[in-house]
Structure 1
């Protein structure tokens, strides 16, 4: 607890693959139809090339990005930013979206599972989380011209 007596905990935290996926997609989106490379995205954000390569492969496999091989190769969005829902990216990149694991994990199956309502409450909260994210697409993050221009400038490309 902090000095105010409030418990400091993160209720839901997305993994780094999800975070990096959003960054990669924002970068690709503000560059339109230009092919971008993993190396340039890694450099722009100061992220691991290795991690971004794995993320890029997953996004290609899922049809979010398309790749062109060869000397002048790279990747770009495989669809319009308006078609890329934020919740879909999370669902692709998060291996286990459950907030608690009542049936296994470190502590094994929880003893109170047959009488506990916590799992249902947390499932409802998870649905609400995705209901909000379902309202937004990649376009909502980058479509406003002033925001897109600022993003490009922040990525060191003005």
Structure 2
């Protein structure tokens, strides 16, 4: 055997030793994996159960969100309806207030005139009858102002 053969043999022995060392390390690692395989399977099963619970929670959350959305839409439509009703009532109240204001403005000069006439009658004496009766029921329905006021009150109902 020549020196070259011996050197090749030595290199081959070293490589076989390294291979043997790596094979032993791999065997130990596989042994650990086999021992931990049961715990790994349990971990995977637990992970799957957690995933299913999370999916169920997401479904319940979606259902709750959909329900809340429908309730909000219902309340919103009711509030819009109430808003429209309030706007209508407000406009109607403003119209009635304008009518009453107009009636009061027209009634003021008549009341002042009536007061002046009553003072004149009282000054002339107690035997004369006033031009306008004190009681509105004494005439046919009272003055025009009183009739307008009663009519406005009836419309307000």
Q: Same fold (TM over 0.5)?
A: no
Structure with the higher fraction of residues in strand conformation:
1
The structure showing larger relative contact order (alpha-carbon pairs under 8 Å, at least 6 residues apart) is 1
Using the size of structure 1 for normalisation, the TM-score is 0.19
Structure with the higher fraction of residues in helix conformation:
2
Pick the structure with greater CA Rg.
2
